[in-house]
Amino acid sequence: MNKLIIALLFSLSTQAQAKIKVVTTLPEIAEIVSFIGAENVEVQSLLRGSEDPHYAEARPDYILKVNRADIVCSVGLDLEIGWLPKILSKSGNAKVQEGGPGLCVLGNSVQALDIPEGVINRSLGDVHAHGNPHFNLSPLKLAESGAEVVRVLSVTLPDKKSEFEKNYDSFKKKMTELHAALSKSVKKTKVMEYHKEFTYFFAAYGLESLGSLEEKPGMPPSAARLAQVAKLAKDNKVAVLFATPSAPHKTLERFRELSGIPVVIVPSYVQRGGETKAKSIEELQRLLVTSLP
């Protein structure tokens, strides 16, 4: 009997160890990986969604988690360029370095918006050379991004490839149906954003965007820019301006005063922990849609 119990415990231990350890940068990526990988993966997100992923830190606990990972999944398109490469380098984990079998960059599977043309330098602000990285706010783009997850999981666990592909088909269907259901309640109107974080969300639901309050990405607008955009928004009857909690509140208040247009402050990432109505991809989408006029 003792031998049987020992064998059973060993079997269960082996099965637990067989799970692919995946570390993601954002909670929504963790949700996608969990959906596609199902019981074959053990997933944790470095960020909780309340941080700005442009400016996160290369914390020692992040480095330790990446050191133990089989796969690291990120948004890419330079969103995490300021900190993730440092973590990967310091982790000493060969599997997740550039060109390694465990490096999973979801942006590689997405047809990006706002790809800049011409010479790119720091005088233009925080410009992303490969396009706007905020595709996480479009269910349809998230569906596209899952192809990279399938590819990398299948490299790590090839005998489960068909299972991953089947789960991916279910995920795409879920995102398509979510988008279709929410689209029914969206009124086609004119909108703006403080930073170009909501571009994919606006495009997904057919909203006409008059651009961002920022003149250069990552740089606060000047007084002249603020007055110019406020007049443009007012003249064009913009219905709302979307911003995140990290946007400068005094600037948003001044825009509201000059234009008379409401400003809605909402998260742009799935939130983990605390009291929030955006704990999943679906919840975040519903929150954004219901925040529209």
CA-based radius of gyration for the chain: 21
pLDDT at res. 13: 46
pLDDT at res. 127: 56
**pLDDT mean across residues, the chain:** 91
pLDDT at res. 6: 47
Q: How confident is the model at residue 119 (pLDDT cuts 50, 70, 90)?
A: low
pLDDT at res. 250: 96
pLDDT at res. 277: 86
Question: Residue 118 above 70 pLDDT?
Answer: no
pLDDT at res. 18: 78
Q: Are 125 and 218 spatial neighbours (Cβ–Cβ below 8 Å)?
A: yes
Class of domain 14-181: alpha beta
Q: How confident is the model at residue 273 (pLDDT cuts 50, 70, 90)?
A: confident
CATH numeric code, 185-290: 3.40.50.1980
Question: Residue 60 above 70 pLDDT?
Answer: yes
Report the C-alpha gap between 46 and 66 in whole angstroms.
9
pLDDT at res. 218: 81
Percent of the chain topping pLDDT 70: 90
pLDDT at res. 14: 44
CATH 3.40.50.1980 domain position(s) in the chain: 14-181, 185-290
Q: How many CB atoms lie within 10 A of CB 260?
A: 10
Q: 240-249: per-residue pLDDT in tens?
A: 999 999 999 9
Contacts of 115 (CB under 8 A, 6+ apart): 130, 131
Residue 158 burial (C-beta neighbours within 10 Å; 0-12, 13-18, 19+): exposed
If you average pLDDT over residues 106-114, what whole number do you get?
A: 95
Report the C-alpha gap between 30 and 9 in whole angstroms.
29
Question: Residue 16 above 50 pLDDT?
Answer: no
Specify the residue for token string 């349809």. 140
Percent of the chain topping pLDDT 90: 84
If you average pLDDT over residues 120-130, what whole number do you get?
A: 55
